[in-house]
């Protein structure tokens, strides 16, 4: 419904501009030579058509409802002097610009495009390079960030910014963006009702996606690859994570997805492939994990404690070094009808469900939790023997932690 | 020495045992590939086999061969031959035929299933190299045990014990000491402890090629930065070489002084 309303309002807004808005051309040979002059000249709902060329400008403040339309990607070069575009009016569209050289500061968060306390904005087809912060949305709502390409050159955390940052925002759509080489690909803080869809966030210094205190958000169909530490979702409620792909987050403290203090979420259809830790869960309750795939991770799921009433149903655990690791003897989570590639049981009544329960926590993973150095004994005969004896009669691992109905074949 | 080597080698070829060994690996390779049709997965299963079975078979076979050919050895000793060349010839005959069975038996099915087109070729060659080293090492150790023990039962006992110690008990003690000493930094300790056992060393070498994502956590980083580099690989290969040369040297030394 929200989406429909948004697209309708965009449509009406576009029709409006076509009917009585003026087009102001900006180029080196035109009457209006700079974007700033164009904004001063323009009246509400006009379009600034920015032609090909390089514009060395910064601190461009858009204070009236305008459309900034780039023709063949005009370059706006901030020359590292500060913020480039600041939107402080409702109904602003920025389309087709190439923005480079945002100033770096240790006291101010300079952004390529900042939206402050505005509604109904649209930022699309923008390419950002050599940036500090990319697109910074601040106390804004009902906007859309669509099909942008953000390529940073971040090396270290302390002097780099985030690709797309939301702070106290509501009802925003972030779709089909590509974010690379920044600190956090997409960062949300105190932002509710946000939809993050089909984005690619890779090679970032810290997190691919970072959630803090944001509720009722959906992220769907995104790809997070090769980020410093993966994706972190913290202190949030009612989040839906659907069909995302978490790949190749390798490193000492790296994981595909980190959940910390997350309640009532739904995590389904995601794939976790070749991460050091597929999913790291801490203090998260009432979450449904369904139809996820865990392929060749070091640890598929690491449960750190204080996780209650979660249910893991219909997931595929394929060739992980450890399927589940637990650090306590208490278990209140349900594992049911998952497929485990390590399962060795049989199915006599041929109903597709194994007759012997599967115990996903190995004694070895318990030992590794206690003394991390013991990981060097991975796959040694001795470990297989004690894992086997623990499987037969559990002493150290929670004895009610089992999948009573393991699937015999991969669930589709 | 070469003549004796050749003799031992052909003797084994004739005695069917190396065929059995060869066929075993051949069957294993085909079954593995038939069952999961995925080269890199099969390599992991093979690793378990190589780490456990190769040392066991080499040990048992080495001891058995030494005791069985005792009369022939005594006959040779009566000839004007150098003692070292008699024993080393026999050793290389046995170790050589075992290695050949292993490499051919496992290599054939994998080559037929398209190893050369796959990127698992490096993992696989590492697997075969460590397998060959383990054969050489454990046959040499077995010969050492056999030459020091006249009593067959005792000799077999020691040989099995040696295998049990290096394959299982050593890891148990290793684990125990890691847990007992968990307050101390254990990186270099575990590195050294791994280097001292040829089975652990081979396992770690192969593992670093396979389960890197898991090993990269915690201590894994230290291991990766050691074994992952060329220097680390060189050191571990030379460690394996040392493990081979030392028992062979002792075998030569012992054979010169033994009173038959």
ipTM: 0.83
CB contact under 8 A, A374 and B179: yes
B240 CA: distance to closest CA in chain A (Å):
18
Question: Rounded to whole angstroms, how far apart are CA atoms A271 and A289?
Answer: 12
Question: Rounded to whole angstroms, how far apart are CA atoms B214 and A277?
Answer: 8
* C-alpha distances out from residue A248 to A131, A184, B168, Å: 25, 16, 33
Please give the average per-residue pLDDT across B191-212, as a whole number: 84
Could you read off the pLDDT of B72-82 as tens digits, one per residue? 888 888 888 88
The answer on A95 and A19 residing in a single domain is: yes
Domain tally for chain A? Answer: 2
Question: Rounded to whole angstroms, how far apart are CA atoms B32 and B56?
Answer: 21
* Structural domain harbouring A90: 1-228
Instruction: State the CATH number of the domain containing residue A173.
Output: 2.160.20.10
The answer on A281 and A143 residing in a single domain is: no
Residues of A in contact with B171 (CB under 8 A): 377, 380-383
pLDDT computed for residue A5 by the predictor: 62
Whether residue A248 lies inside any domain: the answer is no
The answer on A321 and A404 residing in a single domain is: yes
- Exposure b/e, A174-189, CB count within 10 A at least 16 = b: bbbbbbbbbbbbbbbe
Which residue out of B213, B232, B236 would a mutagenesis test of the A interface target, given it has the greatest number of A Cβ atoms within 10 Å? Answer: B213
The answer on A171 and A114 residing in a single domain is: yes
Q: Which of A367, A378, A384 sits opposite B211 (nearest CB)?
A: A378
Instruction: Say if residues A332 and A296 touch (Cβ distance below 8 Å).
Output: no
Residues of A in contact with B41 (CB under 8 A): 319
- Of A228, A245, A262, the one marking the end of a domain is A228
| pLDDT tens, residue order, chain A (412 aa) | 565 565 655 555 555 444 567 888 988 888 888 899 999 999 899 999 999 999 999 999 999 999 999 999 999 998 888 899 999 999 999 999 999 999 888 888 899 999 999 999 999 999 999 989 999 999 999 999 999 999 998 888 888 899 999 999 999 999 999 999 999 999 999 999 999 999 999 999 999 999 899 999 999 999 999 998 889 999 999 999 999 999 988 877 788 999 999 999 999 999 999 888 899 999 999 999 999 999 988 889 999 888 899 999 999 998 888 899 888 777 889 999 999 988 888 999 999 999 999 988 888 888 888 888 788 888 888 988 988 888 888 887 777 888 999 999 888 7
* Residues sharing a CB contact under 8 Å with residue A343, sequence separation 6 or more, in sequence order: A354, A358, A406, A408
The answer on A391 and A299 residing in a single domain is: yes
Residues of B in contact with A378 (CB under 8 A): 207, 211, 214-215
The answer to whether residue B111 neighbours chain A at the CB level (below 8 Å) is no
Which residue out of A320, A376, A383 would a mutagenesis test of the B interface target, given it has the greatest number of B Cβ atoms within 10 Å? Answer: A376
Whether residue A172 lies inside any domain: the answer is yes
Q: Which of B51, B171, B214 sits opposite A299 (nearest CB)?
A: B214
Nearest to B201, CA basis, from B156, B165, B152, B239: B239
pLDDT computed for residue A213 by the predictor: 94
The answer on A388 and A264 residing in a single domain is: yes
Residues of A in contact with B42 (CB under 8 A): none
* Structural domain harbouring B209: 2-257
Could you read off the pLDDT of B152-169 as tens digits, one per residue? 999 999 999 999 999 999
* Residues sharing a CB contact under 8 Å with residue B229, sequence separation 6 or more, in sequence order: none
Tokens of A100: 């480079």
CA A84 to chain centre: 25
- Of A228, A244, A277, the one marking the end of a domain is A228
Question: Rounded to whole angstroms, how far apart are CA atoms A365 and A302?
Answer: 10
Average pLDDT, chain B: 85
The answer on A145 and A38 residing in a single domain is: yes
The answer on A401 and A263 residing in a single domain is: yes
Length reported for chain A: 412
Pairing of strands A316-318, A127-129: unpaired
A114 CA: distance to closest CA in chain B (Å):
38
The answer on A155 and A74 residing in a single domain is: yes
pLDDT computed for residue A259 by the predictor: 93
pLDDT computed for residue B112 by the predictor: 84
The answer on A301 and A263 residing in a single domain is: yes
Residue linked to tokens 């106290």? A168
What is the phi/psi pair of residue B6, to 5°?
Answer: -60, -40
A294 CA: distance to closest CA in chain B (Å):
13
Chain B residue with CA closest to A321: the answer is B214
Domain tally for chain B? Answer: 1
pLDDT computed for residue B42 by the predictor: 72
pLDDT computed for residue A14 by the predictor: 53
pLDDT computed for residue B39 by the predictor: 63
The answer to whether residue B184 neighbours chain A at the CB level (below 8 Å) is no
CB contact under 8 A, B187 and A373: yes
- Of A188, A210, A228, the one marking the end of a domain is A228
pLDDT computed for residue B219 by the predictor: 58
Beta bridge partners of A237: A263
Whether residue A129 lies inside any domain: the answer is yes
What would the 3-class secondary structure string for A192-254 be?
A: ECCEEECCEEECCCCEEEEEECCCCCEEECCEEECCCCEEEEEEEECCEEECCEEECCCCCCC
Whether residue A240 lies inside any domain: the answer is no
Question: Rounded to whole angstroms, how far apart are CA atoms A46 and A24?
Answer: 7
CB contact under 8 A, A372 and B219: yes
pLDDT computed for residue A123 by the predictor: 95
Which residue out of B52, B177, B217 would a mutagenesis test of the A interface target, given it has the greatest number of A Cβ atoms within 10 Å? Answer: B217
CB contact under 8 A, B190 and A378: no
pLDDT computed for residue B38 by the predictor: 63
What is the phi/psi pair of residue B48, to 5°?
Answer: -55, -45
CB contact under 8 A, B175 and A250: no
């Amino acid at each position: 419904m929200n989406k429909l309303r948004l697209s309708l309002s965009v449509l009406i807004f576009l029709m409006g501009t076509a009917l009585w808005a003026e087009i102001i051309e900006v180029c080196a040979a035109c009457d209006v030579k700079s974007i700033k002059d164009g904004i001063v000249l323009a009246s509400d709902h006009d379009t600034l058509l920015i032609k090909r060329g390089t514009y060395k400008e910064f601190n461009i403040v858009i204070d009236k409802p305008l459309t900034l339309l780039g023709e063949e990607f005009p370059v706006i070069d901030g020359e590292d002097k500060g913020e480039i575009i600041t939107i402080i009016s409702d109904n602003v569209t920025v389309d087709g610009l190439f923005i480079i050289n945002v100033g770096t500061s240790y006291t101010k968060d300079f952004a390529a495009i900042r939206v402050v306390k505005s509604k109904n904005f649209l930022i699309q087809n923008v390419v950002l390079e050599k940036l500090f912060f990319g697109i910074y949305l601040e106390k804004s709502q009902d906007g859309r960030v669509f099909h942008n390409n953000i390529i940073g050159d971040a090396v270290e955390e302390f002097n780099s910014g985030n690709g797309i940052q939301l702070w106290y925002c509501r009802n925003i759509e972030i779709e089909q963006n590509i974010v690379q080489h920044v600190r956090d690909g997409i960062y949300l803080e105190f932002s509710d009702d946000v939809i993050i869809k089909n984005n690619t966030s890779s090679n970032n210094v810290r997190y691919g996606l970072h959630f803090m205190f944001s509720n009722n958000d959906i992220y769907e169909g995104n790809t997070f690859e090769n980020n410093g530490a993966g994706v972190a979702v913290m202190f949030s409620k009612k989040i839906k994570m659907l069909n995302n792909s978490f790949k190749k987050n390798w490193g000492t403290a790296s994981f595909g997805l980190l959940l910390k203090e997350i309640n009532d979420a739904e995590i389904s259809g995601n794939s976790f492939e070749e991460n050091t830790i597929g999913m790291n869960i801490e203090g998260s309750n009432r979450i449904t994990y369904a139809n996820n795939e865990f392929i060749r991770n070091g640890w598929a799921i690491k449960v750190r404690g204080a996780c209650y009433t979660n249910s893991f149903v219909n997931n595929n655990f394929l060739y992980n070094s450890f399927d589940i690791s637990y650090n306590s003897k208490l278990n209140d989570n349900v594992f049911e009808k998952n497929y485990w590639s390590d399962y060795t049981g049989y199915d006599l009544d041929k109903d597709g469900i194994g007759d012997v329960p599967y115990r996903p926590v190995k004694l070895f993973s318990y030992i590794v939790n206690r003394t991390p150095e013991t990981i060097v004994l991975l796959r040694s005969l001795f470990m297989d023997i004690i894992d086997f004896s623990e499987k037969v009669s559990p002493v150290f691992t929670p004895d009610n932690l089992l999948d009573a109905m393991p699937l015999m074949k991969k669930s589709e | 020495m070469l003549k004796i080597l050749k003799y031992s080698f052909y003797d084994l070829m004739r005695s069917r045992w190396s065929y059995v060994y060869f066929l075993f690996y051949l069957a294993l390779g085909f079954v593995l590939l038939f069952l999961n049709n995925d080269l890199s997965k099969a390599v992991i299963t093979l690793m378990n086999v190589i780490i456990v079975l190769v040392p066991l078979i080499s040990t048992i076979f080495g001891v058995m061969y030494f005791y069985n050919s005792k009369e022939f050895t005594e006959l040779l000793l009566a000839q004007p031959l150098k003692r070292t060349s008699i024993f080393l010839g026999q050793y290389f005959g046995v170790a050589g035929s075992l290695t050949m069975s292993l490499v051919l038996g496992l290599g054939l099915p994998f080559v037929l299933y398209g190893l050369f087109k796959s990127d698992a070729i490096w993992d696989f060659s590492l697997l075969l190299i460590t397998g060959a080293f383990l054969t050489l090492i454990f046959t040499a150790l077995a010969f050492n045990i056999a030459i020091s023990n006249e009593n067959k039962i005792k000799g077999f006992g020691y040989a099995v014990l040696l295998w049990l110690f290096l394959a299982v008990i050593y890891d148990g003690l290793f684990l125990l000491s890691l847990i007992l000493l968990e307050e101390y930094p254990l990186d270099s300790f575990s590195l050294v402890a791994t280097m001292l056992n040829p089975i652990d060393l081979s396992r770690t070498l192969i593992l670093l090629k396979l389960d890197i994502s898991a090993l990269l956590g915690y201590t894994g980083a230290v291991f990766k930065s050691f074994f992952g580099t060329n220097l680390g690989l060189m050191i571990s290969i030379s460690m394996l070489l040392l493990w081979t040369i030392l028992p062979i040297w002792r075998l030569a030394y012992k054979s010169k002084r033994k009173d038959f």
